[in-house]
Chain A
């Protein structure tokens, strides 16, 4: 238990001044625009885990947090609580706009082609002194939009993969974890919301664990795409949906083996990942964990951490996790004092018990010796 403390104002103010000084460095300050534009992947992570899409705010939060991702995430989470919610967007259509990056590990030749986009894949991972900015050769700028259908839709034609919309699908209203209490078991929609804002490192490790045999799901990266999608919103006063801008998202379709059951024929099953910004690792991890968490749905044995919904979802949120871990460093004096008193009492009782035992033992020994003496005397 934590009991509040008072005082320390001066030391705290000085500590904050010292912190600000540590963050100011010796060279010119970095502008938030520079952070936003040159640290795009980091910005994406802060937005995804902060569950708030706003690259400008994420950049400012990162600067204020001196690069501490979780601190920046916490800043965004706190900020969002100060704003009213105008409503809910039209669901994003991730295949509507041509993606900047779109790859598939399952089909070599797919409609729209494999487009690498801006990727770290195939770089040599050699640390460089300078960062050159070569100009990519612009292909014919007049080129028409190329349709990039989802790989899962292609497989869906032959019913080789489970459909997104089963028979009798009614487009259920998703529950919102930020507004309703967490109750297990969750719907898949709620799980996806929790995973989308979950910690990248945690999900990466869990996803990795499923590959290493802790909840095997035999995954293939059916498709990974990164690109901007249009966001539309139906404002009540307008009465129809209007485009309000674009946002960059990463989408991952994981295709997994499924042997079938009494009711269902063998077919591929799916795990899905969708995150704000350029978050390929996170989207892939999310889709692995999403599939692992569907174990019950497919009647799979649940033996691994990644298949345990409550374990995964109640530990994926890094604001909660860091809050509980880091609160340990706050003054727990009263609490600790209580423990100290208890421990001293326990030790006193222990000593007393031991003394008593020792006394009894020596008493017994003495009696035994006397007995011995008597016997020898008689003998």
Chain B
């Protein structure tokens, strides 16, 4: 039971072999949860900030684009009534890129992949580079200098938006017939 808690309940009912636990993967390989977290932060980051972070990256590795950045589509699915049968809602543009980075000092190669909603080749390109760096020895620095600050900014913005939306919380009350006096505003049904 605890093993397959990682995969969401929306996954198809195919044989649900729990994805390889992070420990058994190659040493230092980030777990799926971690990769989802960093992918989320990179995909939601504003392009300008990502570009700036990459441009100011100290000792940038050699970058080779293995694929893309290329534009394509994903079919977005919803569920009937929210939780029922799947149906095809419509497509969305998506941009993907896969890069290979080479660390000249260590002589190691790492690949990184990014998928980003929208037609944003630069965004997918930079996100893939940071994804590759997250697999390299520079992981701690990417986490502390890129992922964490972006994540915090996104959380703050999210909290602000939520708070603004929360300010529109409404409490309608049903107007009772006949006996509803002005100072007797009851929330009665």
Chain A residues within an 8 Å CB radius of B51: none
Chain B residues within an 8 Å CB radius of A246: 44, 117
**Is the CB of A183 closer than 8 A to any CB of chain B?**
no
Q: Which residue of B lies closest to A290 (CB)?
A: B80
**Is the CB of B177 closer than 8 A to any CB of chain A?**
no
Q: Which residue of B lies closest to A161 (CB)?
A: B81
**Is the CB of A147 closer than 8 A to any CB of chain B?**
no
**Of listed B77, B81, B83, B90, residue having the most chain A CB within 10 A:** B81
Chain B residues within an 8 Å CB radius of A197: 90
Chain B residues within an 8 Å CB radius of A232: 8
Question: Are B81 and A139 in contact, CB atoms less than 8 angstroms apart?
Answer: no
Bound: A231/B74 CA distance, A: 10
Which among B55-63, B140-148, B164-172 touches the partner chain?
B164-172
* Total contacts A-B at CB 8 Å: 246
Chain B residues within an 8 Å CB radius of A253: 81-82
**Is the CB of A242 closer than 8 A to any CB of chain B?**
yes
B110: min CB distance to chain A, Å: 15
**Is the CB of A309 closer than 8 A to any CB of chain B?**
no
Q: Mark A219-260, 1 if CB is under 8 A from B, else 0.
A: 000000000001111010111111111110101010000000
* Given A83-B93, A88-B75, A90-B8, A272-B39 contact (CB < 8 Å): no
Q: Which of B8, B89, B118, B165 contacts A117 (CB 8 A)?
A: B165
**Is the CB of A282 closer than 8 A to any CB of chain B?**
no
Bound: A57/B160 CA distance, A: 28
Chain B residues within an 8 Å CB radius of A209: none
* Given A177-B88, A189-B87, A80-B74 contact (CB < 8 Å): no
**Is the CB of A132 closer than 8 A to any CB of chain B?**
no
Q: Mark B146-167, 1 if CB is under 8 A from A, else 0.
A: 0000000000100111111111
B49: min CB distance to chain A, Å: 15
Which chain B residues in 33-90 approach chain A with CB under 8 Å? 35-36, 39-40, 43-44, 71-90
Bound: A249/B40 CA distance, A: 19
Q: Mark A48-75, 1 if CB is under 8 A from B, else 0.
A: 1001111011000000000000000000
Chain A residues within an 8 Å CB radius of B88: 88, 174, 176-178, 189, 193
Question: Are A171 and B35 in contact, CB atoms less than 8 angstroms apart?
Answer: no
* Given A86-B72, A86-B96, A244-B116 contact (CB < 8 Å): yes
**Is the CB of A131 closer than 8 A to any CB of chain B?**
no
Question: Are B81 and A164 in contact, CB atoms less than 8 angstroms apart?
Answer: yes
Bound: A94/B82 CA distance, A: 7
Question: Are A241 and B36 in contact, CB atoms less than 8 angstroms apart?
Answer: yes
Bound: A239/B115 CA distance, A: 13
Chain B residues within an 8 Å CB radius of A100: 161, 165
Bound: A189/B85 CA distance, A: 7
**Is the CB of A92 closer than 8 A to any CB of chain B?**
yes
**Is the CB of A101 closer than 8 A to any CB of chain B?**
yes
Report the contact-size class of chain B (Cβ under 8 Å from the partner): 35 or more
Bound: A80/B11 CA distance, A: 27
Question: Are B163 and A244 in contact, CB atoms less than 8 angstroms apart?
Answer: no
Chain A residues within an 8 Å CB radius of B169: 113-116
**Is the CB of B137 closer than 8 A to any CB of chain A?**
no
Question: Are B85 and A244 in contact, CB atoms less than 8 angstroms apart?
Answer: no
Bound: A118/B164 CA distance, A: 10
**Is the CB of A7 closer than 8 A to any CB of chain B?**
no
Q: Which of A83, A94, A139 contacts B167 (CB 8 A)?
A: A139
Question: Are B77 and A88 in contact, CB atoms less than 8 angstroms apart?
Answer: yes
**Is the CB of B176 closer than 8 A to any CB of chain A?**
no
Bound: A369/B131 CA distance, A: 109
Q: Which residue of A lies closest to B173 (CB)?
A: A108
Bound: A170/B77 CA distance, A: 16
Question: Are A244 and B115 in contact, CB atoms less than 8 angstroms apart?
Answer: yes
A225: min CB distance to chain B, Å: 10
Chain B residues within an 8 Å CB radius of A238: 35, 113
**Is the CB of B19 closer than 8 A to any CB of chain A?**
yes
Q: Which residue of B lies closest to A270 (CB)?
A: B81
**Is the CB of A278 closer than 8 A to any CB of chain B?**
no
Question: Are A116 and B162 in contact, CB atoms less than 8 angstroms apart?
Answer: no
Question: Are B92 and A165 in contact, CB atoms less than 8 angstroms apart?
Answer: no
**Of listed B156, B160, B165, residue having the most chain A CB within 10 A:** B165
A156: min CB distance to chain B, Å: 9
* Given A86-B72, A94-B78, A253-B82, A235-B115 contact (CB < 8 Å): yes
**Is the CB of A17 closer than 8 A to any CB of chain B?**
no
Chain B residues within an 8 Å CB radius of A56: 118-119
Question: Are A172 and B85 in contact, CB atoms less than 8 angstroms apart?
Answer: yes
Give the top 6 A-B pairs by smallest Cβ distance, nearest first: A245-B117, A164-B84, A53-B92, A189-B87, A51-B90, A243-B40
A-B contact pairs, 14 of them (CB 8 A): A80-B91, A89-B75, A114-B170, A116-B168, A138-B160, A146-B166, A171-B85, A177-B88, A178-B88, A192-B80, A231-B92, A235-B96, A242-B115, A245-B44
Interface of B with A (CB < 8 Å)?
8, 10-13, 19, 32, 35-36, 39-40, 43-44, 71-94, 96, 98, 113, 115-119, 156, 159-174, 189
